Amino acid sequence: MKVKIQSVRFDADQKLLDFIDERVNKLVTFNSTILDAEVILRVENSSTTDNKVVEIKLLVPGPDLFAKRQCKTFEEATDLSVEALRSQIKKLKEKAMP
pLDDT at 67: 98
Note the Cα 54 to chain centre separation in Å: 7
pLDDT at 77: 97
What band does 98 get if pLDDT is binned at 50, 70 and 90?
low
Amino acid at 22: E
Q: Delimit the domains of the chain by residue range.
A: 2-96
End-to-end CA distance of the chain: 27
**CA–CA dist 60, 34 (Å, integer):** 5
Write down the CATH number for the domain with range 2-96: 3.30.160.100
Q: What is this structure's pTM?
A: 0.92
pLDDT at 20: 97
pLDDT at 54: 98
pLDDT at 48: 83
Q: CA quadruple 91, 19, 11, 49: dihedral positive or negative?
A: positive
**Which contiguous run of DSSP H or E holds residue 39?**
strand 36-43
pLDDT tens, residue by residue, 20-79: 999 999 999 998 889 999 999 999 987 888 999 999 999 998 889 999 999 999 999 999
